[in-house]
Structure 1
Amino acid sequence: MKKNIFLAALLAVSMGAAAQNFYTFTKSEATYEDLSDTVSMNNGEAWINQPYGPFESPFSLFIFGEELSSFGFSGRDFGTGNMEISVYFHAFHAFVMGRGFSDPATSPISYKIEGEEGSRILKLEVKNAGLLAEFDYSSSTSLSTYLNYQVWLYEEDSSIEYHYGYHNISTTSILNTYGVSMVSIEFSHYTGIIHKGYVTGSIENPVYLEFSENNLPDNPEELLTLDDVPQPNTVYRFELNPASVDGVEKTGFSIYPNPATEIVNLSFNETIYTEYAVYDMTGRNILSGTINGESNTQISIESLQSGTYMLKVGNTTKKFIKK
């Protein structure tokens, strides 16, 4: 009941919220095909919670507006990031592992690049994986549960797709600690800035909701779940929202002087209407405000202690130093 009330409240404002979302979401069907001629990430090893990577991407990966250059496998999900940013593509939110210890090659983790420069696709694949909940540490027998999926990252338009292959998961109870089906894209910055997009609701007609550090519910594992596991040949596509792209362009700015003592000046390419926030290096929000129809503005930092801070304006984050 609590989840239904929560989702109803969100859906009541979904049309307005959708305009603010960074991505638009569509569900479709396409015949799932295993990748061929791939590059191995686990090199034929048996794996259980091992990370692999990072691997250098041949093209820039833009996730929630941030440019990233590498990718890898976290031990349970594909992801990307750097020293400041972590991104995870949770196609299942499951504790997965290789199925065969006597024949480790039965569960490869791999990738391949397809297409010509400018329109390439980075395809990541987990093939024939099992679930950790079924694993018996005292035995080396193969797992009976299996799943297959791919994550596609597009160079041309920065879209993201989850492709679901064949699986024999009959209950969500063995997927994770909470026993629920969850699908999401999760972005986090070490300062505490986060962006999370969830596919939730009915498996037949799912909806997509986005949250930031300011409005993410405390218990998404209860409120932002699907009522079943995505079926084979399902494709979830996350495409850049044109309104969001326009917003990113409008929040491009320069900051000066840097370092600064009392005032930082912000200069924009055009007149903007947006919010700003200043975070210290622990992720604490210490200043916030709005920019209402200005192309140049100032923020007083006189009250801040000397140190390094992150300034988030709209969808853009930049670092500055208070002397």
Structure 2
Amino acid sequence: MTHPVRLAQARDLADRLGLDGLAVDPDPQGPPSALRTALVAWSAAGAGASHHLVVQDDVEAPPELRRIVADAAARFPDEALVYYTNWHARNGGAARLAALAGACWVRAVPDEFTPSLAVCLPVATAAAFRSYAKDSAERHDDELFSVFFRGRGRMALLAVPNIVEHIGTSSINGHAAQGIRLAVCPTSAADAEPLLAHGPVLEDPGWVPYMRYGEGFIRLPGQERGADGGRGHHPWREALPATGLTEAGVDAARAAHMPEELAAAVAAPFGRAFAEELWTHCLLLGHQAAAARRRVGAALAGLPEGALDRMRRSALATAGPAGLPPERRPEAGAAEVRAMAALAESAVRVGEAMG
């Protein structure tokens, strides 16, 4: 799906991936609306098809995408399948937690948008979504997806190893202020293919640590039932009582175990407060991932250990850049990313031991 200003880019992507059609914004001079184009895209399933894949124009993906999607659709024939998850969203936090646990799919949280850069739906679900959305005043297809899935009682499955990557920072639909927006767990097709074909599903990650704009938060189970629909953000200190951990225990763990040399390397460009917040966020991730791993561990037998380890390291490598305020993310070069990843790894190990 595309807009005329990106038509050449979309044609190139469709040719490289072997996609069989372009859905172009039917009213390009009108108010920006991803949903308007999405309704065209989701009406284009081939005759006799069981599933329909829609890819947005501002992504990169491997030539194996269609085969990997087809295999997953055969494995999960009734599910909505999502192949890109934003690195600083709540769903990004759920996917990062799942990666640390070894899970290769995770159920999306119900109180946030459903990432829509690359989605595969059963054709019956696609038709139902079109019928549901055709008269909506919403312009964001990702937001309406979540309302639609919540109403059906089952959110999408997110592929934890991301084989689709967002490119660029421009946004036709008004998201440019979010800055650099990348995949939570970028993974090669060679690693992702066996993991997505055979890896375990984390149906319920429980409470989910996530970090945005330099601060750590916790998404609590059931918060979608709150008065605001769960869209509010709970700072980790406020949410901690619901996790079984104590603020005193977390602060003591940081004082005792945060490696000063690594913290100083992160603090030099981004400040001491950010370094401590990142370490604490990853401590919480490690603690919760250890609990999740106990639930999915038996299903890891037979999966390639190297691919699992690379998936884990990829998810950790994005934790630091994703946690930065948007205006600071361009400052995260290779050295800064390595320092943040090393600090994150040290915190995850401590969090896992606390489990």
TM over 0.5: no
Q: TM-score range by the shorter chain?
A: under 0.3
Which structure: greater strand fraction? 1
Q: Could you state the TM-score of these two structures normalised by the residue count of structure 1?
A: 0.27
Which structure: greater helix fraction? 2
Q: Could you state the TM-score of these two structures normalised by the residue count of structure 2?
A: 0.25
